[in-house]
Structure 1
Amino acid sequence: MTTNVLLTADAHRDLRIRTTRGEALGDAVMSAIVVPDEFRRAQGQYPILFRRDFDRDEFNALAMFGFENGENLFLEGDRWDANYLPLSVDIQPFLIGGSPDDDAPKQVLVDMASPRIAEGEEGMRAFDDFDRPTPYLEAMVEKLGALDEGYRASRAFYAALDRYDLLEPLSLEITMDNGSINRLVGFHIIDEAKLQALDGAVIGELHAAGHLMPIFMALASIGRIGELVQRKNRRMRHG
């Protein structure tokens, strides 16, 4: 039985959402999907890696928060220690109804099984006393729209990466201060050598299509892996 239901004022006039952060609220995750439109904001905080979704036979980009399932090194109690929160995390427990490949108007759904669904007077209201969307809900709807638009636009981005074979597999083994080993396998990164070898016409094409900036942002984000290692070492030292 699905717990994703259409959001309406009639059915959800008393709905409240927990907006704090925490493991119990579903934030203990290793990564989250980001769309190319987000890369510029996300790369200042997180490594951006690519992974193939074999069910859909396509790549997604992921903002990395840790090295193993359930590990979020940015989560400190009820605080997310970063200046930018990926849209796919920020919009929860809301989601977009309909197929991402469908250009028809989208609907706003809410996951009623989410731990973010609050009780009593806790949390942010979705609708006011007059059944109008609150500023909080309006902001969530805007973010849902941005995520949907970014996802649909990303198809051309990944087609360009595939056309010029610009993704290469990443296999990374990192030794922590205590001697333990962490691995990142099954991911891809931008192949910098192949990017540099592209001729001016292709670079111009990528730039004109708006693909060059997210490519550079994904490349720049790789430096954040070192910062993620530092977070892991601090977490292991202090428990």
Structure 2
Amino acid sequence: MTDSNKSTIELLDSQAHRKLKIQTQKLNTKQNRVNVANVSVGELNTLVHEYPVFITKSPNSGDLQLTAILGFKSGENLFLKGDEWRATYLPLDIIRRPFQAYLPDQNNPNQGHIAIDLLAEQVNEKHGTPLFDDQGNKTEFLQRVEQTFSQIMGGAVQTLNLLKQAEQLGLIESINLSIEVPNKGKVELNGLLAFNKEAVDKLSGQELEQAHQSGLLQVIHLLLSSTLHLQKLIGWSANQ
């Protein structure tokens, strides 16, 4: 369910990219026209009020991850309406664009670097927020970008650990969603996983206590409640 775009990626450099600026208000871009966004457990309390969230497997590592559904087909982001984003909260995976993490060693995220897509529509040398000042120092904006990636990396580890715990407890199942969109017919969403409510309800004793102490129970309830937002996406899709 991922969406791939061709891009020109370079590691961020204070000399080579001294003049670059980012148009941060420009949201309706090719990079953002995707139907999924990776999210972390730290975002869920806010995220589930506006987005449907499921579990998926990373196409690269095969690790379990949390994924917000933005659209029903590749390249479709129903949260974009012109230049407006139809939610008050933007997932960190959207905020970080047009930047991405470069990790030479997947097991050592602290040694990662920030890269930039030079072909991204937000990137130019005339308009927007600069990355470096005239002396080549990081601007406050770039420092916030670094903080965003720190949140993303830390959140990914926390999320993976909780989902591994859920998997070990037998609480995760594969699902296929068949959604009827008025005037458009059926849409199939494959490759999704979800928490099995019956298995969750059967938790008891030490396993139940561990799930409570780790925060897993809260994550389960948040994800189960978030599926209500699929109806909102169906309405948006039908009215396109």
Q: Scaled by the length of structure 2, what TM-score is found?
A: 0.88
TM-score (norm 1): 0.89
**Is this contact kept in 1: 2:8–2:118, CA < 8 A?**
yes
> Kindly tell me: are residues 100 and 116 of structure 1, through their superposed partners in 2, closer, same or farther at Cα, counting changes over 3 Å?
farther
1:76 has 2:110 as partner: no
Q: CA deviation at 1:204?
A: 1.7
Are the counterparts in 2 of residues 96 and 148 from structure 1 also a CA contact under 8 Å? no
Among 139, 147, 154, which residue is 2:144 paired with? 139
Aligned partners of 1:97, 1:183: CA distance in 2, in Å? 33
Matched, 1:210 2:215: yes
Q: Which residue does the alignment assign to 1:183?
A: 188
1:165 paired residue number: 170
1:118 is aligned to: 124
The amino acid of 1:143's aligned partner reads T
The residue identity in structure 1 corresponding to 2:122 is: R
Q: Matched residues in 2 for 1:178 and 1:209: separation?
A: 44
Instruction: Give the RMSD, CA atoms, in angstroms.
Output: 2.1
Q: Following TM superposition, by how much is the alpha carbon of 1:22 offset from its aligned partner in structure 2, in angstroms?
A: 4.3
Cα offset for 1:158? 1.8
User: Counterparts of 1:74 and 1:90 in 2: how far apart (Å)?
Assistant: 14
Distance 1:60 1:68 in 2: 19
Change (3 A) 1:101 1:78: same
Distance 1:186 1:104 in 2: 30
Bigger drift between 146-155 and 50-59 goes to 50-59
Q: 1:54 Cα shift? A: 5.1
Among all aligned residue pairs of Structure 1 and Structure 2, give the percentage whose two residues are the same amino acid.
Answer: 25
Whether the 8 Å contact between 2:66 and 2:159 is mirrored in structure 1 is no
Provide the residue aligned with 2:4 in structure 1.
Answer: none
Give the residue type in structure 1 aligned to 2:138: P
**Aligned counterpart for 2:200 among listed residues 181, 195, 198:** 195
Say which is worse superposed, 54-63 or 65-74, in terms of deviation.
Answer: 54-63
Task: Work out the CA distance in 2 between the residues paired with 1:173 and 1:94.
Answer: 34
Partners of 1:25 and 1:176 in 2: CA distance: 24
Unaligned runs of 5+ residues in structure 2 are 1-6
Residue 74 of structure 1 and its aligned partner are, at CA, apart by: 0.7
2:23 to 15, 18, 36: 18
Match of 1:102 in 2: 108
